[in-house]
Amino acid sequence: MVAKPATPKAEDYSVVAGSLGPRRDFRISVGLREGWDADGRVFDVSEAVRTARAWMKRRVEAGEPALSGMFARAEVTYAWPRPDGTVGSDREPVALFTGEAVHAYLGHLPDEAIAAMLNELSIELGVALGQERIYVAFGDRTWILDAGERLNKR
CATH of the domain at 106: 3.30.70
How far apart CA 53 and CA 112 sit, in angstroms, is 22
Q: What is the DSSP letter of 15?
A: P
d(CA 35, CA 133): 10
Predicted TM-score of the model (pTM) = 0.88
Residue 15 in any domain: the answer is no
Q: How many domains does the chain have?
A: 1
In a domain, 7, yes or no: no
Residue 12 lies in a domain: no
- C-alpha 97/C-alpha 27 separation (Å) is 5
What Rg, from alpha-carbon coordinates, does the chain have? 20
List beta partners, residue 88.
80
Domain coverage including residue 121: 22-153
pLDDT digits (tens, 9 = 90+) for 93-147: 999 999 999 999 999 999 999 999 999 999 999 999 999 999 999 999 999 999 9
The crossing angle, in degrees rounded to 10, of helices 45-61 and 111-129 is 130
Residue 127 inside a domain? The answer is yes
Residue 51 in domain? yes
- Say if 57 falls within a structural domain: yes
Within a domain: residue 137?
A: yes
What pLDDT digit, counting tens, does each position of 22-59 carry?
A: 999 999 999 999 987 778 899 999 999 999 999 999 99
In a domain, 116, yes or no: yes
Select from 116, 69, 66 the least CA-distant residue to 95: 69
Q: How far apart, in whole angstroms, are the C-alpha atoms of residue 127 and residue 122?
A: 9
Please report, in angstroms and rounded to a whole number, the separation of the first and last CA atoms in the chain.
Answer: 67
Asked whether the beta carbons of 25 and 66 are under 8 A apart, the reply is no
